[in-house]
Structure 1
Amino acid sequence: MTEAAQKQQSEESEKRERSPGGKFMLVLLTGFLLAIPLFASWLLIYDRQSQSEQAEQSIVTGWGGQQVFSGPKIVLPYKAKVQGSVEQDGKTVTRTEIVMQNLYLSPEAMTFDSDIKTEVKSRSIYEVVIYNSNVTGLATFKLPDDFARSGIDPATIDFARAEIRFGLSDARGLAANNMLSVDGQPLVLQPGRGLGETGNRGFFAWLDATDLADGTITVKYDVKFRGTESLTMVPSAGQTNWSVTSQWPHPSFTGGFLPKNEVTEAGFTAKYAITNLALGSALTSTQASQQVYPQSNNRPYTSFDSSGEPSSVTINLIQPVDLYDQVSRATKYGFLFIGFTFVAFLLFDLIGGVRISSVQYILVGVALILFFVLLLAFAEIIGFALAYITASLATIGLITAYAASVLSTWRRASMIGGLLASLYAVIYILLSLEAYSLLIGSLLIFAALAGVMFVTRRLDWTRTLQKRPSS
């Protein structure tokens, strides 16, 4: 044999012979490299979720977004004296000017009902919950008993030029046949001039509020509007009672106050009872008139919670399952899939006498990562549960068939398949039991580590492996 042939044979022998420690480090490095395509699959999920949100927005374009409803409030213009300093002939002169300001008056008591009729609107594989809401209410207004403490002279209030305002965050959703009456007299609704709680969007009506000077005003309204996915109400009355009914079976109640509610498969009912003492807000507030400041600065007083956000209550009409969140959570367990499978192959490599190359580890790892892509693709069409079963069976079948060739026997391959089936089942349980996922996951890893330590307890990690014939 020539010297070159001997050298080549020696190099090939060195490639076939590695210490267990070196083999372990090589497999560990391969697993870390597979983090790159695993992260790419997570980015794919995020991208598809973004596309889903954009598709939902396009579905409801012109319908009405997530609505925020506020009011009614009566706006009373009045004259106020404002002092200001100006420079005149090199001297500072103090002047008193008469300007128009607005007094915002909240209802003493307000009771209203909302009937939310929902439907699911879809385009291609995307769906979004839309609704029609009919709000009917009764509000009573009067000047507070301690109004004299406000510092406003009732004689300066122009009751004849008052307005009654409602806030609605997306006025595109307003339907026809809305009605408003004050003490039985119908009023004509006008667009714009909403309330600060809704970004000054909404509608209003001109009102002669002379009766407020020494009495009360009763306001009745029937407002219909469209919205998407959620309805928020910003309370401001002395006593607010809000009743909501809907046939949607999956509501979520959030915000500063929670209702008494009943949820069944046929729908839900919710009842809120909120006082201004709980809100921490007064029934009157003053703001500079639009004649002095632009409308964007004309933000009436509202109560705020500890986070600085306006106190409000929200009913979310949620879908029972967000498949993108579930697929994203499954992807976070990707290292468990790769780690457990690689450990099984490594044990056959180190103890079973079957040589497995780095390329074969990479191919198995890619098949495991492809599971998440299949899961996402199928979940968008057939739902998460069926998609999980389909992607699991496809991945287990592929890796088991490949392992039968790599490990030389179907018996060993069936052990790999059984391991993967058990692992996919456990991960699905982890996804279902979110509260205990950390506990179960940590116990699973501990048990796997204990098993590997037991099986390899007599293995000499420093010796060089000699290739043995496969059985």
Structure 2
Amino acid sequence: MNKTAEETQSPQLAVRPERSPGAKFLLVLLTGFLLAIPLFASWLLIYDRQSQSEQAERSIVTGWGGEQVFAGPKIVLPYRAKVQESVEQDGKTVTRTNIVTRELFLSPEVMTFNSDIQTEVKSRSIYEVVIYNSNVTGSASFKLPEDFNRSGIDPTDIDFARAEIRFGLSDARGLAADNKLSVAGQSLVLQPGKGLGETGNTGFFSWLDATALADGTIDVKFDVKFRGTESLTMVPDAGQTNWTVTSKWPHPSFTGGFLPENKVTKAGFTAKYNISNLALGTSLTSMLPGQQIYPSSDDRGYNAYEAGGASAGPSSVTVNFIQPVDLYDQVSRATKYGFLFIGFTFVAFLLFDLIGGVRISSVQYILVGVALVLFFILLLAFAEIIGFALAYIVASIATIGLITAYAASVLSSWRSASIIGGLLAALYGVIYILLSLEAYSLLIGSLLIFAALAGVMFVTRRLDWTRTLQKNPAT
């Protein structure tokens, strides 16, 4: 009796050869590595959103005042100096003596000032930035150093009557209109420009008759008000600098060459800096060459040289008004744990595949991996609206629910799917703890991976990774 074609092929369909457990493991491993591409793309998206946030913050504070750097005051004394140069004249080398105008920058012996900073959070759409108003009040005492005769400058060459007193402020747009400056009780008129090199030559100044410096001291008092954003930097340059900063902002960060004595509470902070020029390693006087040069026979006088910029100031100190949580940094850190999410979930599915007898295709692994990667996109999108903590909960619930429901269909068992869901819930909880406990993240992460590896090794200890499985499609 002749057999039909279906009867002839049925023995071949009854038993279907499958890949060995080792081959399946390598295939799943390759799939996990391929998912690194969308995982990296999500990280690029976070970086792009962070860049947009920074641009938005800059647009919010346009015209307000940026991150301010405050320097000074310094007294600038113009003086004459003789400079010899050799020139060719009628085929002969002639040495000519020129009179050049130079400037002597004199820092105060003692500078004491207080900064009262009023902060607020300015927002536009979903973006926020910390802005502030600062009121800097203080005094400074100037005197020529006792060893000034070693400087090589003859005091008779200094034009004390044409001196200037200069302040540096990195973003002069933030200056208020009611700033005050007085010398020996006499008010001076402030002028724009002629700042200091430490602030990029921006700031303000006033003309000053510094004749009293020839044999005495000059005491200066100032009251300066300006606006800024996110941070205030002070450049100490005095024999002794005493700076006290107070603010109601509860989240300061102190950086720079020197750290202050500080007290931080929920109601604000107070920081006190006490810095000497011995610690700075700088002198109270510095000089810059002038631009205007006059022949020695010319007695027209000379003009004060407008400084082209002093060298970068000594070690600065900065008070940062930081936001307690930077959501982009947190989302970026969470993304770095993406391989843990993918690896643990794939291992769970692979164990059901190898030991539970449930066949799972490569496409199903990829779909689950894409869902895991999508978690980070959801986390970023929600974090910009409702904050990181709530966004993490929402994105976790959505991802766990989706994968658990899909696993119930793939594994044909809600009980098995609930194991996958429980594993994911525990994993997301542990990762959140890792993000919160930054100091112990490496330790906890290492123990987590070690425990997972030990569990997989125990479950698969009797599995033959090389044999080819035969599975009946009817079972």
Instruction: State the TM-score bracket (shorter-chain normalisation).
Output: over 0.9
Match of 2:406 among 399, 402, 409: 402
Cα distance 1:212–1:460, how it changes in 2: closer, same or farther (>3 A)?
same
Within-5 A mapping of 1:331-342: 331-342=335-346
How far 1:85 sits from its partner (Å)? 2.1
Q: Tell whether 2:184 aligns with 1:183.
A: yes
SS of residue matched to 1:361: helix
Distance in 2 between the 1:143 and 1:251 partners? 37
Q: Distance in 2 between matches of 1:208 and 1:200?
A: 22
Corresponding residue number in structure 2 for 1:298: 308
Aligned residue identity for 2:459: V
Q: What SS class does the counterpart of residue 177 from structure 2 fall into?
A: coil
**How far apart, CA to CA, are the structure 2 residues paired with 1:138 and 1:397?**
65
Contact kept, 8 Å, 1:104 with 1:300, in 2: the verdict is no
Tell me: CA distance 1:171–1:251, structure 2 relative to 1, closer, same or farther (3 Å).
same
| C-alpha distance 81-331 of structure 1, shift in aligned 2 (>3 A) | same
Residue number in structure 2 paired with 1:360: 364
**1:202-257 deviation per Cα after TM superposition (whole angstroms, max 9, x unaligned):** 00001111111111111111100000000000010101100111000000000011
Which residue of structure 1 aligns with residue 46 of structure 2?
Answer: 45
Equivalent residue letter for 2:350: L
2:234 alignment counterpart:
233
Distance 1:102 1:457, change over 3 A: same
Partner deviation per Cα, 1:328-363 (whole Å, 9 max, x = no partner): 000000000000000000000000000001111011
Unaligned runs of 5+ in 2: 294-302
Q: Contact 1:119–1:129 at 8 Å: present in 2 too?
A: yes
Q: 1:49 to 1:11 in 2, by over 3 A?
A: farther
Tell me if the contact between 2:101 and 2:304 (Cα under 8 Å) persists in the aligned partners. no
| Matched ranges for 1:274-285 at <5 A | 274-285=275-286
Matched, 1:77 2:87: no
What is the CA–CA distance in structure 1 between the aligned matches of 2:204 and 2:228, rounded to whole Å?
16
Q: Specify the alignment match of 2:141 in structure 1.
A: 140
Residue 197 of structure 1 aligns with an amino acid whose one-letter code is: E
The answer to whether 1:345 aligns with 2:349 is yes
Other structure's SS at 1:281 match:
coil
Give the equivalent residue in structure 1 for 2:101.
100
Q: Aligned partners of 1:224 and 1:183: how far apart in 2?
A: 21
**What aligned pairs does 1:25-64 form with structure 2 within 5 A after superposition?**
25-64=26-65
Q: Alpha-carbon deviations, 1:266-291, whole Å to 9, x = none? A: 10001110111011011111111243
Letter in 1 for 2:225: K
**How far, CA to CA, are the matches of 1:413 and 1:106 in structure 2?**
74
SS of residue paired to 1:253? strand
Would the aligned equivalents of 1:353 and 1:468 in 2 still touch at CA under 8 Å?
A: no
Structure 2 CA distance for partners of 1:3 and 1:80, relative to 1, 3 Å: farther
Return the alpha-carbon distance in structure 2 between the equivalents of residues 395 and 296 of structure 1. Answer: 64
Q: Which of 444, 454, 459 is residue 463 of structure 2 equivalent to?
A: 459
Gaps of 5+ in 1: 304-309
- CA–CA distance in structure 2, aligned partners of residues 299 and 62 of structure 1: 24
- Does residue 318 (structure 1) correspond to residue 319 (structure 2)? The answer is no
Q: Distance in 2 between matches of 1:281 and 1:399?
A: 64
Over the aligned positions, Cα root-mean-square deviation in angstroms equals 2.2
Per-residue deviation at 1:58?
Answer: 0.2
Equivalent AA in structure 2 for residue 328 of structure 1:
S
Q: Shift of residue 108 of structure 1?
A: 0.8
| 1:365-395 deviations in Å (ceiling 9; x for gaps) | 0110010001101111111111111111111
1:111 paired to 2:112: yes
Offset of residue 8 of structure 1: 11
Contact 1:289–1:298 (8 Å) recurs in 2: no
Shift of 1:17: 1.5
- The number of residue pairs the alignment matches comes to 464
Secondary structure in structure 1 of the residue aligned to 2:112: strand
SS of the residue 1:69 aligns to = strand
Correspondence for 2:126: 125
Q: Which protein, 1 or 2, shows the higher relative CO under an 8 Å CA cutoff with sep ≥ 6?
A: 2
In structure 2, the residue corresponding to 1:117 is in which secondary structure? strand
2:465 aligned counterpart, secondary structure: coil
Comparing 413-422 with 459-468, which one deviates more in the overlay? 459-468
CA contact (8 A) 2:100 2:291 kept: no
Please state whether the residue corresponding to 2:26 is helix, strand or coil: helix
Which secondary structure state, in structure 2, belongs to the residue aligned with residue 269 of structure 1?
strand
| Alpha carbons 1:180, 1:188 under 8 Å: kept | yes
AA in 1 matched with 2:450: F
In structure 2, C-alpha distance between the alignment counterparts of 1:65 and 1:219, rounded to whole Å: 27
